[in-house]
Amino acid sequence: MDKPFGLLAELTYGCPLSCVYCSNPLNLADYSDELSTADWERVLGEAHELGVWQLHLSGGEPLLRRDLVTIVRRANELGMYSNLVTSALGLSRRRAEQLKAAGLDHVQISIQSDEPTVSDRIAGTRSFARKIEAARLVKELDWPFTLNVVLHRYNIDRVAEILGLAEDLQADRVELANTQYYGWAWLNRDALLPGKDQLDRAESVVRAARARLSDRMEIVYILPDYYGKYPKPCMGGWGRRQLTVTPTGDVLPCPAAHTLPLPRANVRTESLARIWTESAIFQRFRGTDWMPEPCRSCPRREIDFGGCRCQAFHLTGDAARTDPVCHLSPDHDLVAEVVRAANEAGGPRERQLVPRPHR
């Protein structure tokens, strides 16, 4: 068992956007009793003692937390590398300068598309202009800057234009991440999953951009799991490298594990070290002993670790099943059918989309 090096601190699930691909929980009302400033400072201290050095401050929208500067300052005192994962709504010049002075190391801003109308429609609110203004402010304050774009059927055909926008904004890194189907994205999966022809065109564009911009910008392109031959090693393996703390203090091996019927562990009642080493939720799928066939005898079992437990649960109702995206899984037909439907003539219709409500 390795020590964790990364902590995703989900400070709040409040968000001014209503993105249809949001992976936050569906039951947002259950997360209103958020950890206090003192709670988060203690959690960061315990994480530091556990070996964590990389801190991602996320949500929802972390800028909604009035104590964000205090939390960043505490992370800096502990020597953690801190990354703000934000929609950028609320990143005023004054707030940005405070965060810079507190020691924030990196900013990641999400956009929904390169074209204002499309971006605002996907986000559910007028936000594109403010995001661009914030991105320019980030560069002015000399932060390392990542531009994140979640890809799906309704924006993947604009990858070339999105990369052009990233170049114009002088992003150091671009994440083109196809939608992961949890939370609201799971409800909208059949409408969001792109077709194979769309993916082929996007990959061609990305390859050309990587060659052209290799000395200026890192481009990360993540394929949809549903089109893979083998599953990805979710979080580098269950309970091996990273952990997530939710707004109310639940500690999870991955951000989507709140969907699984497993015992909960919370920083309000247990130390982070005890949760990491002894809790049932972290032990359940750690290592390879839990694996059924065909994973148990597969030579890839310590490469992909059976794939995503949350994906297996969503698709089969059993978190211990082989991830159905794997072509060796006995449940692979469940994925193949969804992919087939996504590639039918005409494809899904946008009217099926269910937006995430504001909170």
Binding-site annotation: residue ranges for [4Fe-4S] cluster: 15, 19, 22
| Parallel/antiparallel/unpaired status of strands 251-252 and 81-86 | unpaired
**Alpha helical stretches, state H, 103-195:** 116-123, 128-140, 159-168, 183-187, 189-192
Give the tokens for residue 56.
Answer: 């991602």
Contact 103, 78 (CB under 8 A): no
At CA 238, angle to CA 237 and CA 239, rounded to 5?
Answer: 110
Helix (H) or strand (E) holding 220: strand 218-222
Q: Side-chain half-sphere of 222: how many Cα atoms within 13 Å?
A: 17
Q: How many CB atoms neighbour CB 150 within 10 A?
A: 24
Identify the DSSP state of 266: B
Contact 44, 55 (CB under 8 A): yes
Q: Give the number of other CB atoms < 10 A from CB of residue 154.
A: 19
d(CA 14, CA 168): 30
- Annotated binding residues, written as ranges, equal 15, 19, 22
Question: 216 has which bridge partners?
Answer: none
Query: What is the rounded CA–CA span in Å between residue 51 and residue 53?
Result: 6
